[in-house]
Structure 1
Amino acid sequence: MRNIGNAITRSLSYLIALFLALMAIFVFGNVILRYFFHSGWTWAEEMSRILFIWLIFLGSILAFKDNEHLGVDTLVVKLSPRGRKILYVINCFVILGTMALTLHGSWYLTLLNVDQSTPAIGIPYAYVYSSGVVVSIGMGFIVAMNLYMLLSGKLNENDLVMTTDSEEKVAEIEEIAQRTAGEKQ
């Protein structure tokens, strides 16, 4: 299962890098064409916008997997390990509910815009809105796996703090966790 996850992560990283490279080529090429030749690609700006949307949504899946989204862990680090687990489970269900709403809304927008096309390229807007479907399924799967790992005992105490900080902050959190564990014994 871990190998599949690593393959998906690697594939998403390559896809994001490809989208970023294509965006740079399209925008830079369009700037050169406009500046030197007073013409340009009519489709480049639109295609770059679509690639940027997909890049953001795919990148958010990778950031979510690595707990790199913004978060406030002030309360979590002060809780006991049992309190952290309870809060983690509540947090997982809130995120799953949010992803279900995002999936529903994105799916509805995707179906609604199948017949609507972008002006310059002519591709259906459904391809743009389907990025929300992909991100909600991806993040929902990550949350479900994290919840399964917690309930099966495969998640350690440090993984219950869902934000990633600087090395100093991580050392401080580990010290608090050790102190808390020492006081319990």
Structure 2
Amino acid sequence: MLSFKRWLERVLLVLMATMLIAMVCLMLWQVTTRYLLGVPALYTEETLRFLMIWMALTGAAYCFGTNRHLALDLIPSLLPEKAGRVLYLINSVVVLVFAGFVLLLGGWKASLSALTQMSPIMQIPMGYAYSILPISAVIIFILQILNVFLIMTGRLRLPYAKSGAGEL
């Protein structure tokens, strides 16, 4: 399971790096066409916006997988390890409920309802841009369940453990 988790995290990193490189290339193309050729490439702004949305939600999934998301760890770091595991389990249930109901169900509904709405410049269905919501929800769900299993079995340390976070 740990190897699958690492593989999935690496895939997310490669996707984010690819999107970032594409964004830089598109920005350079936009500047080149606007200031050197005098005719701006209109599709770049919209593509950059879509890539930014996809990169942010892919990054959120990666952060949940690596336990590097924004967290207040003052109270958990003061607790003994057993109580910290219980608190982590409660926190994980909240994350799973959020990922399941808000991101997955809400994102699925938003994606389906936006399939008839076209983007202004490229004329592609907006549902494609919103489809990252349920996709990231599934990835967050999988990674969070893996994290809970690995932490409860002692194969992964708590993110706020006193002896240091990370894998054993």
TM-score bin (small chain): 0.7 to 0.9
TM-score (norm 1): 0.80
Q: In percent, how many aligned pairs have the same letter?
A: 26
The structure having more radius of gyration, on CA atoms, is 1
Map 1:152-167 to 2 at 5 A: 153-155=153-155, 159-162=157-160
* Contact 2:5–2:146 (CA under 8 A) maintained in structure 1: no
Deviation at 1:123, TM superposition (A): 1.3
* Contact 1:77–1:161 (CA under 8 A) maintained in structure 2: no
- The alignment covers a number of residue pairs equal to 163
Aligned residue among 160, 163, 167 for 1:174: 163
Name segments (4+ residues, structure 1) moved above 6 Å: none
Q: Deviations over 1:52-110 (max 9, x none)?
A: 11111111211221111111111111112221121111111111111112211101101
Q: Which runs of 5+ in 1 are unaligned?
A: 163-169, 176-185
TM-score (norm 2): 0.88
Structure 1 residues 10 and 160: alpha-carbon distance in aligned structure 2, compared to 1, 3 A threshold:
closer
C-alpha RMSD over aligned residues: 1.9
Deviates more, 1:108-117 or 1:76-85: 76-85
Map 1:18-57 to 2 at 5 A: 18-57=18-57
Instruction: Tell me the amino acid that sits aligned with residue 42 of structure 1.
Output: L
Q: Which runs of 5+ in 2 are unaligned?
A: none
Q: Distance in 2 between matches of 1:91 and 1:70?
A: 13
Instruction: Tell me the amino acid that sits aligned with residue 159 of structure 2.
Output: V
Q: Deviations over 1:139-168 (max 9, x none)?
A: 1111111222344x2345xx2235xxxxxx
